């Protein structure tokens, strides 16, 4: 069993953005299915739940302690780790392994006071780790903090999860070009822009990645209210196998 679900599909501001009255934010207030929480992924197997990132702040309400098998971090920006600050205070004797990129600073005092969080030695890019229920390969990304994407593989299914990034490093692009990607879940925060954004893909970069890697299915995530506004008028211009992530969206089940 392997189930992969979008836990959160939004950028740091989420949708609706506090105090914003754009058409996308107003839609999300009227229809909760258009609300977007912090970008994160849930992987369920017969052994338990693996979380990729922990920006959702109500993880303690969503999961029992024994549900969470491991947590894997893409990077240490607060919207991707803020949920850990609550979890760490559990007084259970067991530990939850937390896998991470090679960032010596981490976030705030997580390293100093980890509580039940057992931070593992940093991932080595392109070095595959074989868990009992699936394998995962860390992939360097382009962001303002040291950031990793991940290739998840099991029984011939390949799922790439690439957030946060603006474009791809040549090494990651070459690596993924040699894979048959069943699903590519890609950062896309912005509508088309005249020049590349600083930290996140826009639609132009997402389409370039789509045409370069040729995944069977592509899902855009880390979405801002600005992109949602654009999508409300232009979603039908995207390729038919390019989809827009939603919170709770089911990706694959084997």
Return the pLDDT at 196: 74
The arithmetic mean of pLDDT across residues 110-139, rounded, is 98
List, for residues 75-114, the tens digit of each pLDDT value: 999 999 999 999 999 999 999 999 999 999 999 999 999 9
Return the pLDDT at 9: 98
Return the pLDDT at 16: 98
Find the helix or strand (DSSP H, E) in which 208 lies: helix 203-213
Tokens of 162: 């690439």
Return the pLDDT at 61: 96
Length of the chain, please? 254
pTM: 0.97
CATH number, residue 172: 3.60.15.10
Return the pLDDT at 198: 85
Domain range enclosing 229: 2-253
Distance CA 190, CA 229 (A): 10
DSSP collapsed to 3 states, 120-163:
CCCCCCCCCEECCCCEEEEEECCCCCCCEEEEEEECCEEEEEEC
Residue 96 pairs in a beta bridge with 117
List, for residues 177-219, the tens digit of each pLDDT value: 999 999 999 999 999 998 878 899 999 999 999 999 999 999 9
Return the pLDDT at 77: 98
The arithmetic mean of pLDDT across residues 132-140, rounded, is 97
Share of the chain above pLDDT 90, in %: 96
Into how many domains does the chain fold? 1
The arithmetic mean of pLDDT across residues 17-36, rounded, is 98
Give residue 34's region: left, alpha or beta (phi > 0; psi -120 to 50). alpha
Return the pLDDT at 197: 82
Return the pLDDT at 195: 82
Cα 170-173-175 angle, rounded to 5 deg: 110
Residue 10 pairs in a beta bridge with 38, 223
Return the pLDDT at 49: 98
Return the pLDDT at 254: 83
Is the confidence at residue 57, as pLDDT, over 90? yes
């Amino acid at each position: 069993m392997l189930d992969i679900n979008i836990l959160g599909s939004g950028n740091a501001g989420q949708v609706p953005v506090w105090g914003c009255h754009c058409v996308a934010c107003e839609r999300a207030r009227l229809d909760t299915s258009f609300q977007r929480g912090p970008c994160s992924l849930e992987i369920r197997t017969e052994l338990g739940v693996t979380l990729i990132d922990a920006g959702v702040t109500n993880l303690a309400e969503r999961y029992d302690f024994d549900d969470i098998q491991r947590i894997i971090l893409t990077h240490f920006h607060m919207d991707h780790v803020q949920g850990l600050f609550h979890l760490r205070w559990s007084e259970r004797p067991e530990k939850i392994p937390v896998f991470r990129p090679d960032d010596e600073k981490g976030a705030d005092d997580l390293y100093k006071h980890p509580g039940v969080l057992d931070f593992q030695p940093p991932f080595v890019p392109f070095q595959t780790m074989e868990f009992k229920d699936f394998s995962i390969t860390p992939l360097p990304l382009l962001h303002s903090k040291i950031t990793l994407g991940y290739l998840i593989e099991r029984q011939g299914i390949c799922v790439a999860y690439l957030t946060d990034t603006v474009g791809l490093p040549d090494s990651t692009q070459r690596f993924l070009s040699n894979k048959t990607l069943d699903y590519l879940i890609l950062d896309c925060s912005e509508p088309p822009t005249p020049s590349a954004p600083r930290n996140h893909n826009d639609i132009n970069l997402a389409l370039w990645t789509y045409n370069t890697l040729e995944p069977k299915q592509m899902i855009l995530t880390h979405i801002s209210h600005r992109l949602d506004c654009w999508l409300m008028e232009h979603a039908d211009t995207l390729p038919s196998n390019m989809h827009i992530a939603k919170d709770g969206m089911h990706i694959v089940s084997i």
